[in-house]
Structure 1
């Protein structure tokens, strides 16, 4: 099934069920007001939402209305946890190669992860508000999952059983703030503003055969200022699958229902064409494009995002339909 959260003037919005083709929606008010309620009582409430979803798809939901992504908040407008991994080691390899640094051997055995802000999560059409262009504004196209309760000490296989929903993310980075923050030894903070999520979160059965033991074998599309810059394959080169990412968190703590876990920037390896490396799948963040330019030409030539720029992130299912709807945002200055 497909679920979204509509704006209603409150912090947490109103839960709606969305049709498979994203054309129609129906309030879930008679079952649950908020998505977090469903995650807290998944076994009891999700079958009722599934019945409503089937009625909606069959044209039998009495109070259905046209679905509007612009009315959407993030599926979880605020969450108990937002933990973002870096599961595509090719991304790490490119960025480090561009600055002449080696990738430590441990990076291939243990996932990188940071704890992001979860008190405000952006809707798919919300502006990315930044105080200054000088901060180095970058998009990051990612996949994310929402969990139920996953106990401390869970194995990757057990952790996979705790995944409830999947959605897309734009994990905005302020690249020019990162070096000074990392130099302090405590990781990202000001360089990671609010993250945006797709209008719709979907249960794993909506992926069909594309869901492959914690990986999504589909293409993630990134379109910057109307130009498609990324057609990255999300499955084959994901070094750590979602079960491994969740198990990484579970090493020393319980993961509670309503936690969001991100994949990190989806990234594909280059290929040799006429003796020169090429990246035909494009990129899912500008930092990676700049790293490629540095490797090829000795210096980056692509600048970061400016006020008024747009970014669209979307994934099509095996049926050709938009899986979670599109993140479609504009970069905007802070109005002081």
Structure 2
């Protein structure tokens, strides 16, 4: 597997076996003089990050999904205090054209249309790629009743791609610190959502600075924008309509996310292996435990 620079319909490999993370950490590398046609290359996820933080930077998404997942209305006041995020699984990253294995038990299967910033050295943003934060909404809804999560509703798969566009390449789209990029999502060729990335509540730079506060962010770490509004995921639409319309994703469905200035990322939905039933929980008898301690 090799890394390189995309120019038009050609890709020019980095010299010396240099990978993307090395370029993010150390700056530009030399490339081969002879390119390979993109049509002859199988693209994989452009990066294997050490960590993935996923933010929720769009009010419209928060409002719609809360109705769908836990029946709550409005946007929590705490959302306005700081750019909230959770960590998802960096070991379950898929790339363009990969099949996405959902938990077999999940029936409320969903995509999430996001853009991810790639952290660079010194608190900078190196570049951007498309990020699909796949979600098993039925699992997510159950586990978040405990007051933690999302966990198993999210950690089975995310996809990145089709490549990383460096920050300088997107400078023409900058508007008041935000990237004014149209983002759209389609299922089996039918568009179900479209929004501007510039409708985010915080800039990527602010989210990166907040993530690094009292913590550590390293070059190559991924920070998701959170799902765009206006149909950036199915759950937002379910929350607004009060029904599963459009329907949840099914085996064989193809989801395509397209972001202006970056490209398109397509994945097909399948079912993963059946994990089977868990052993029953051991319930604690609080009164008996207190008696035994006396």
**Given the two structures, how large is their TM-score scaled by the length of structure 1?**
0.75
2:22 counterpart of 1:37: yes
Partner of 2:50: 80
CA 194–214 in structure 1, closer or farther in 2 if over 3 Å, else same? farther
Partner of 1:230: 193
Partner of 2:281: none
Q: Could you give the per-residue CA deviations for residues 277-318 of structure 1, whole angstroms, max 9, x where no partner exists?
A: xxxxxx111001111212xxxx4433210000010111233x
Partner of 1:329: 267
Distance in 1 (alpha carbons) for counterparts of 2:22 and 2:43: 18
2:63 counterpart of 1:93: yes
Partner of 1:242: 204
Q: Could you give the per-residue CA deviations for residues 191-250 of structure 1, whole angstroms, max 9, x where no partner exists?
A: 112210112101112113203355210101211111112221111x21111112112211
The CA deviation at 1:188 is 1.5
Distance in 2 (alpha carbons) for counterparts of 1:38 and 1:69: 24
Partner of 1:278: none
CA 117–241 in structure 1, closer or farther in 2 if over 3 Å, else same? same
User: Does the Cα contact within 8 Å between 2:96 and 2:265 map onto a contact in 1?
Assistant: yes
- Describe the SS at the equivalent of 1:326: strand
- Describe the SS at the equivalent of 1:80: coil
Runs of 4+ that moved beyond 6 A: none
Q: Matches of residues 1-336 of structure 1 in structure 2 within 5 Å?
A: 8=1, 14-19=2-7, 21=8, 23-30=9-16, 32-42=17-27, 46=28, 48-49=29-30, 52=31, 62-68=33-39, 71-76=42-47, 78-97=48-67, 99-132=71-104, 134-150=106-122, 159=123, 162-192=124-154, 193-212=156-175, 214-235=177-198, 237-268=199-230, 283-294=231-242, 299-317=243-261, 323=262, 325-334=263-272
- Describe the SS at the equivalent of 1:292: helix
Aligned alpha-carbon RMSD (Å): 2.0
Structure 1 residues without counterparts, runs of 5 or longer: 1-7, 9-13, 53-60, 151-158, 269-282, 318-322
Distance in 2 (alpha carbons) for counterparts of 1:144 and 1:203: 12
CA 69–328 in structure 1, closer or farther in 2 if over 3 Å, else same? farther
User: Does the Cα contact within 8 Å between 1:82 and 1:260 map onto a contact in 2?
Assistant: yes
Work out the number of aligned pairs and report it.
271
Partner of 2:288: none
User: Does the Cα contact within 8 Å between 2:106 and 2:139 map onto a contact in 1?
Assistant: no
User: Does the Cα contact within 8 Å between 2:237 and 2:245 map onto a contact in 1?
Assistant: no
User: Does the Cα contact within 8 Å between 2:93 and 2:160 map onto a contact in 1?
Assistant: yes
Larger radius of gyration: 2
- Describe the SS at the equivalent of 2:3: strand
CA 186–70 in structure 1, closer or farther in 2 if over 3 Å, else same? farther
